[in-house]
Amino acid sequence: MPRATQKSYYWIGFRTGLPFLLVVMPFGMLFGVVATEAGFTSVQTMAFSSVVFAGAAQFTALQLMADDAPFLIVVATALAVNLRMAMYSASLAVWLGRAPLWKRALIAYVNVDQSYAVSMNRYEDEPDLSLTQRIGFFFGAVTPVCPMWVVATGLGIWFGDTIPDWMALDFAVPICFLAIIAPMMRTLAHMVSAVASIVLALVFSGLPYNLGLLVAAAVAMIVGAQVEMWMSRRAEA
């Protein structure tokens, strides 16, 4: 009963993804509020959330546009924020690479931090899952989160300024990312890379157009790769 099995893994994925609504809802609403305040029309705000579909990059672009940054800086920085998804794509391809092209095309569209993280954990915990079960799990994990991202954006536009300050919607973003980053601290190389990213981003925060983050991320990637090579040389020696 391959069909039934895929169905059950779909629902396991669904339940795993469900708690992320706790962060996706405030995050999406905040985007609706901020984009409207920045002068985006409702249609532009909704299109932004559904076409780009990447919260952190959307906020980054919005911030830079409000700061009057040049076009190329807006695009380069927002895409740099999304570059981590190339890595997500590479590691998902190991598990889902044999899916038909149209399914991979759809998986790519909804490949967000949360769905990636829970799916990879599941694939590594249960390496014997069939391709169908893996795909079922992935789409299950995505189902509660992704449509609600767009709905939440709409709610943010709708409620606008009436959302009280004490709800601290702004902090949904850092909390979500910190919760995602913490389990990634698997090796010394990951930790050193993260520390380098933090220190350099703070040191270079004065640079115009968020260039500081670009510099920090590029150097932190090199640092991570170098520490990894150093560690494997040490292990061999």
Partner 1 sequence: MNPSMDAGYIWTIIIVLGVGTYLIRFSFLGLIGGKDLPDWVLRHLRYTAVAVLPGLVAPLVLWPAATGGEVDPARLSAALVTFGVGLLTRNVVAAITLGGATLFGMIWLTGAY
Residues 129-148 that bind partner 1 (CB under 8 A): none
By the rule CB under 8 A, 165 interacts with partner 1: yes
CA proximity to 172, closest of 22, 44, 9, 61: 22
Two structure tokens written together for 102: 């149209």
Total of chain residues touching partner 1, rule CB under 8 A: 99
Q: CB of 117: closest distance to partner 1 in angstroms?
A: 7
Gyration radius (Cα) of the chain, Å:
19
Q: CB of 81: closest distance to partner 1 in angstroms?
A: 6
User: Cβ closer to partner 1: 133 or 192?
Assistant: 192
CA proximity to 49, closest of 62, 38, 39: 62
Residues 192-221 binding partner 1 (CB under 8 A) are 193-198, 200-202, 205, 212-213, 216-218, 220-221
By the rule CB under 8 A, 78 interacts with partner 1: yes
By the rule CB under 8 A, 102 interacts with partner 1: no
Q: What is the DSSP letter of 187?
A: S
**Given 23, 141, 145, 146, the residue binding partner 1 (CB under 8 A):** 23
By the rule CB under 8 A, 183 interacts with partner 1: yes
Query: What is the Cα–Cα distance from 36 to 30, expressed in whole angstroms?
Result: 10
Stretch that binds partner 1, among 111-119, 125-133, 142-150, 153-161 (CB under 8 A): 111-119
Q: Are the beta carbons of 73 and 211 closer than 8 angstroms? A: yes
Residue at 200: amino acid letter: L
